[in-house]
Amino acid sequence: MTLLQVRDLDVTFDVMPRGAWPWTKPNKLQAVSRMNFDLEEGQTLGVVGESGSGKSTLARAIIGTVEATGGQILWDGTDLRTMSARDRRAHRREVQMIFQDPLAALNPRMTVGEIIAEPLTTHQPDVSKKETRKKVGEMMERVGLLPNLVNRYPHEFSGGQCQRIGIARALILDPRLVICDEPVSALDVSVQAQVVNLLKRLQREMGLSMIFIAHDLSVVKHISDRTLVMYLGRQMEQAEARELVRAPRHPYTQALISSVPIPDPVREAARERPVLEGELPSPLDPPSGCVFRTRCPKARPDCARARPPLDEVEPGHLVACPYQEVISPLDTPLSEPAEPVG
Amino acid sequence: MLAGRPAVEAAEQAAHMEPVKGRSLWQDARTRFFHNKAAVASMVILVLVGLFAAFGQFVTPWSNEEIDWALLGSIPEQGGPSWENRHYFGVDETGRDLYARVVQGTRISLMVGIVGALISVVVGTAWGAIAGYVGGRVDTIMMRIVDLMMSIPYMFVLILLLVVFERSIFMLFIGIGLISWLDMARIARGQTLSIKNKEFVEAAIATGVSTPRIIARHIVPNLLGVVIVYATLLVPQMIIFESFISFLGLGVQEPSTSWGALINMGADNMRNQTPWMLGFPLAFFVVTLFAFFFIGDGLRDALDPKDR
């Protein structure tokens, strides 16, 4: 069953130019533009892209902390954007979020027990204290924390433990969708694997759907069923996770995948790869037509004319590039059969 | 304790263990504060001053309005501090016991300081936290009100208040209440703006926690460190403020008195060979103010968020 359908989602911010008068018209910053995807119940969608490509804004639009300015977010077929404020608040228990900086996401003045219990006390205020304490203890055990640490404060924990606290808080209400906003990028590599595996295990046990945002393709490949590639707020490519890594079609995806370093200096030096040059253009003034054309190794003059449509080139494989082609398998650690993480 | 089989088993065993007591940031701050000798000494002094204000009256047979007729003609010669006639601090220019008057003045001055600081903590923090958190037009309106009130010369308003209405301690409290929270509101707002963008606030919003609850549970507790430090520094400021008003002759009404009024009286009598009239109230004033400043400093060091 399809849990979440995102249709033509736009998020635009008004940005006041420097030194503007109050009556000056604000500049429009299009952070997310015409985003389309479906998320099936129990599946994981990976979202990758450079910093500033609008991944986090997409997540925040779905969870509702950022206002979407166009399109639809259909949850079980009902549009979240037209929901009443009260329904929306009640709906929040179904979608929870895990944050990038594990320590910053925990209130330093609250004990771990209070932090994990907060969603529970918000949505079920009539649950008794004893019941709450029991549930918090169970949840802590489930994420691999000692339940007798409930009265400790966040600053007494390591980064990995803090992230476990964040996971416990997100899962205590038994949500249907969990949005992970780069949950492991602030952690040590060894701890990353533990947290990713914990997430995978909990997803299986609780039947969760996930949106997993990262800029590390190896992590995304490991955890997600489908992967979506974003660049400057636009969708570049979307495919089944393994398929995307094995046969990337969009030049941007190819560049992303080829930029994953190989832990072998000889192979690393010998390999041929498309290189991305330059910086991400300003989202206040995106290039015309295809936004990637300014950095694309395969750009042609008519790329500037119109925004390329998202074509289904193969069943389930969508690419926003009319000149897409399968290139010879890239030499990357991702293309090896062995799993790079875990 | 990170993952793995043994850890899970350990977790199962630990489930039956007693919960461990955590050390909150407040407890950390308390420990740091008590390592600061100047601050602890100041606290002791402040407690003694408080005890003096509360129970000092029981030690003397004189009240603060009773005139010692026996001394009235010869105050410079016989009105000084003495044990025999039980005027520990001597008498004032009209022959009233200075010790009893200092006890009474301490009460008023401490009360003014603490009431002023309390008003500023309660009103200023709430005002600033709401303005900062809600933001937008609400923020603009609320902070412009603060700016407006700050731009009015408050001393002028206060003098008007005290002249138009009856001179009373109540009016003084109103006057102090009107101005004391303005700076606090600005400080609280600034601090709120930085806290509001932290991820834990976003996490609370995403969970569906209501706005008043976010302000009460997430914003204010994290503001409190700064607020407390500023409040302890505000107490002496309020005492000075009241003393200034009293020094101008507009503060408390006879026979009540305050440090400012006593110092004023003592200063007037400086040429009459009665140094005790200025010395005792001034000593209390200075020592208490020093104590407050040292405590404020100690608290700032202890609560400094950069130390976290």
Q: Considering chain A, what percentage of its residues have pLDDT values greater than 90?
A: 37
Cβ contact A202:A140 at 8 Å: no
Does B303 map to a domain? yes
Cβ contact A35:A58 at 8 Å: yes
User: Each residue of B164-195: b (16+ CB within 10 Å) or e?
Assistant: eeebebebbbebbebbbbbbbbbbbbebbeeb
Cβ contact A58:A230 at 8 Å: yes
Domain that holds residue B247: 51-307
Give the confidence band of B160 by pLDDT, cuts at 50, 70, 90. confident
pLDDT tens-place string over residues B277-290:
888 889 999 999 99
Per-residue model confidence (pLDDT) at position B307: 46
Tell me what the pLDDT averaged over chain A comes to: 86
Per-residue model confidence (pLDDT) at position B4: 54
Going by C-alpha positions, the residue among A235, A321, A226 that lies closest to residue A8 is: A235
pLDDT tens-place string over residues A33-55:
999 999 999 999 999 988 888 89
Per-residue model confidence (pLDDT) at position B143: 94
> Looking at the predicted structure, is the pLDDT value of residue B144 above 90?
yes
Cβ contact A73:A6 at 8 Å: yes
Find tokens 């320590």 and name the residue. Answer: A103
Per-residue model confidence (pLDDT) at position B173: 82
Q: Which residues pair with A45 in a beta bridge?
A: A211, A226
> What is the three-state SS of A80-148?
HHHCCHHHHHHHHHHEEEECCCCCCCCCCCCCHHHHHHHHHHHHCCCCCHHHHHHHHHHHHHHCCCCHH
Higher-confidence position of B103 and B56: B103
> Looking at the predicted structure, is the pLDDT value of residue B93 above 50?
yes
Q: What CATH number should be reported for the domain holding residue B254?
A: 1.10.3720.10
Q: Is A151 on the interface with B (CB under 8 A)?
A: yes
Contact A105 B222 (CB under 8 A): no
Average pLDDT estimate for B256-278:
84
Give the confidence band of B188 by pLDDT, cuts at 50, 70, 90. very high
Q: What is the ipTM of this complex?
A: 0.84
Out of A141, A156, A158, whose CB is closest to B11?
Answer: A141
Count of structural domains within chain B: 1
> Looking at the predicted structure, is the pLDDT value of residue B240 above 90?
no
Average pLDDT estimate for A130-146:
92
Going by C-alpha positions, the residue among A260, A262, A258 that lies closest to residue A273 is: A258
Out of B19, B24, B218, whose CB is closest to A153?
Answer: B24
Least confident of A120-134, A265-279, B187-201, B214-228: A265-279
Could you tell me the CA-to-CA distances from B114 to A9, B184, B234, B292, B304 in Å, in that order? Answer: 55, 15, 9, 11, 23
DSSP reduced 3-state for A284: coil
Per-residue model confidence (pLDDT) at position B88: 79
> Looking at the predicted structure, is the pLDDT value of residue A271 above 90?
no
- Rg of the Cα atoms in chain A: 21
Q: Considering chain B, what percentage of its residues have pLDDT values greater than 90?
A: 23
Judged on CB neighbours under 10 Å (0-12, 13-18, 19+), B82 is middle
Contact B7 A144 (CB under 8 A): yes
> Looking at the predicted structure, is the pLDDT value of residue B308 above 80?
no
| A72 membership: H or E segment, kind and range | strand A70-75
Q: What is the pTM of this model?
A: 0.80
* A197 chain-B contacts, CB cut-off 8 A: 3
Give the confidence band of B156 by pLDDT, cuts at 50, 70, 90. confident
Does B22 map to a domain? no
Find tokens 């003393």 and name the residue. Answer: B243
Residue type present at position A247 = A
Higher-confidence position of B131 and B100: B131
Out of A101, A119, A148, whose CB is closest to B18?
Answer: A148
Does B10 map to a domain? no
Per-residue model confidence (pLDDT) at position A274: 65
* B136 chain-A contacts, CB cut-off 8 A: none
* A141 chain-B contacts, CB cut-off 8 A: 11-12, 15
Does B35 map to a domain? no
Q: Which of A67, A101, A106, A109 to substitute to test the interface with B, most B CBs within 10 Å?
A: A109
| Token output for A341 | 């993480």
Find tokens 């992590």 and name the residue. Answer: A219
Q: Give the number of C-alpha atoms closer than 13 A to the C-alpha of residue A12, restricted to the C-beta side.
A: 14
Does B70 map to a domain? yes
Q: Give the number of C-alpha atoms closer than 13 A to the C-alpha of residue B233, restricted to the C-beta side.
A: 13
Considering Cα of A327, then A329, then A332, then A337, what sign does the dihedral take? positive
Per-residue model confidence (pLDDT) at position A265: 82
| Token output for A125 | 């205020």
Does B136 map to a domain? yes
Per-residue model confidence (pLDDT) at position A330: 63
DSSP per-residue string spanning B256-285:
---HHHHHHHHHHTGGGT-THHHHHHHHHH
Q: Is A150 on the interface with B (CB under 8 A)?
A: yes
Average pLDDT estimate for A272-289:
80
Per-residue model confidence (pLDDT) at position A331: 64
What distance in Å separates residue A183's CA from the closest CA in chain B?
Answer: 13
Does B190 map to a domain? yes
Higher-confidence position of B78 and A223: A223
* A109 chain-B contacts, CB cut-off 8 A: 24-26, 221-222
| Token output for A88 | 């929306």
